[in-house]
Chain A
Amino acid sequence: MTEELEIFLEDCDDQLQMMEDALVDMQSNGASESTIGTIFRAVHTIKGSAGMFGFDDIVTFAHTGENLFDSIRQGDVGVCEEMISLFLLCKDHMEVLINLLTEDKELSAAQKEVGHNLIQRLEGYLPRAQIKEENIEDIPSTIVIEAAKWHISIRFHKDFFTTGMSINSVFKFFNKVGKVLKIQPIIYNIPSIEDINPLHPYIGFEVCLLADLSKSEVEDIFEFIQEDVDLYIFLCDDSDEYNTLVSIRKEPELKNELINAKFIDEDTLIEPELIIPTVEEKEEIVLNQKEEEIVLNQKEEEIVLNQKEEEEEEIVLNQKEEEEEIVLNQKEEEEEIVLNQKEEEEIVLNKKEESSEPKKKAVSSLRVDSSKIDILINYMSEISITNSRILTLIDDEGSEIGETVIHMKQLLEFVSDGIMDMRMVKVGDSFNKFRRIVSDTAKKIGKDVDFVISGEDTELDKTVVERISDPLLHMLRNSIDHGVELPEDRVACGKPAQGRVDLRAYQDSGTIVIEIEDNGKGLDRDRILAKAIENGSVKKNNNLSDSEIYKLIFSAGLSTAETVSAISGRGVGMDVVKRNIEDLRGSVEIESTIGQGSKITIRLPLTLAVIDGFLLQVGDTKYIIPLENIKECIELTTIEQESLNGNEFINVRGEVLPLLDIRLLLGENKSITERQNIVIVYFGKKIVGLLVDELLGEHQTVIKSLGIVFDQLSGISGASVLGSGEIALIFDVARLIELRNEG
Chain B
Amino acid sequence: MELDLDTEMNLDDMDDDLLVIGDSQQYLFFILAGDIYAIDVNNISEMIEYQAITKVPLMLPYIKGVTNVRGKIITVLDLRERFGLGETKLNYKTSLVITNNIALIIDEVHEVTSVEESNLKESINFGVKIERRFVKNMASYNNTHIVILDCDEVLNIKEISQKRASK
Q: Do chains A and B touch in the complex (CB under 8 A)?
A: yes
Number of A-B contacts (CB under 8 A): 70
**Stretch of B79-87, B128-136, B140-148, B154-162 on the interface side:** B154-162
In Å, the complex CA distance between A725 and B54 comes to 11
Q: Is the CB of B157 within 8 A of A708?
A: yes
- Is residue A707 contacting chain B, with contact meaning CB distance below 8 A? yes
Nearest CB of A to B57, in Å: 4
Contacts of B101 in A (CB 8 A): 707
In Å, the complex CA distance between A666 and B65 comes to 13
Contacts of B74 in A (CB 8 A): 707
Contacts of A704 in B (CB 8 A): 73
Contacts of B160 in A (CB 8 A): 709
Q: Is the CB of B63 within 8 A of A709?
A: yes
Q: Is the CB of A712 within 8 A of B66?
A: no
In Å, the complex CA distance between A378 and B70 comes to 12
Q: Is the CB of A622 within 8 A of B56?
A: no
In Å, the complex CA distance between A360 and B58 comes to 56
Nearest CB of A to B5, in Å: 20
Contacts A704-B73, A725-B68 hold; do A711 and B56 have CB atoms under 8 A apart? no
Contacts A708-B161, A709-B160, A713-B58 hold; do A667 and B67 have CB atoms under 8 A apart? no
In Å, the complex CA distance between A427 and B162 comes to 37
Q: Is the CB of B71 within 8 A of A729?
A: no
Nearest CB of B to A725, in Å: 5
* Residue of chain A at shortest CB distance from B57: A666
- Is residue A726 contacting chain B, with contact meaning CB distance below 8 A? yes
- Is residue A706 contacting chain B, with contact meaning CB distance below 8 A? yes
Contacts of B66 in A (CB 8 A): 706-707, 719, 727
- Is residue B163 contacting chain A, with contact meaning CB distance below 8 A? yes
Q: Is the CB of B52 within 8 A of A712?
A: no
Contacts of A719 in B (CB 8 A): 54, 66, 73
The bracket for how many chain B residues form the interface is 20 to 34
Q: Is the CB of B73 within 8 A of A705?
A: yes
In Å, the complex CA distance between A138 and B71 comes to 64
Contacts of B164 in A (CB 8 A): 667
- Is residue A382 contacting chain B, with contact meaning CB distance below 8 A? yes
Nearest CB of B to A706, in Å: 6
Q: Which residues of A, 647-671, contact B by the 8 Å Cβ criterion?
A: 666-668
- Is residue A183 contacting chain B, with contact meaning CB distance below 8 A? no
Contacts A667-B167, A709-B102, A711-B161 hold; do A716 and B71 have CB atoms under 8 A apart? no
Task: Give a binary string over A258-292; 1 marks a CB under 8 Å from any B CB, 0 the rest.
Answer: 00000000000000000000000000000000000
Nearest CB of B to A486, in Å: 47
In Å, the complex CA distance between A668 and B162 comes to 18
Q: Is the CB of B167 within 8 A of A707?
A: no
Contacts A709-B63, A713-B59 hold; do A621 and B157 have CB atoms under 8 A apart? no
In Å, the complex CA distance between A727 and B71 comes to 10
Contacts of A710 in B (CB 8 A): 56, 59, 75, 161
Residues of B within 8 A of A (CB): 52, 54-59, 63, 65-68, 71, 73-75, 101-102, 157, 160-164, 167
15 contacts between A and B (CB under 8 A): A621-B56, A621-B65, A667-B164, A668-B57, A704-B73, A706-B56, A706-B73, A707-B102, A708-B161, A709-B102, A713-B56, A719-B54, A726-B68, A727-B67, A727-B73
Given A621-B65, A709-B59, 20 extra CB contacts under 8 A: A378-B71, A619-B57, A620-B55, A621-B54, A666-B58, A667-B58, A709-B102, A709-B160, A710-B59, A710-B75, A712-B161, A712-B162, A713-B56, A713-B59, A713-B163, A719-B54, A721-B73, A725-B68, A726-B68, A729-B56
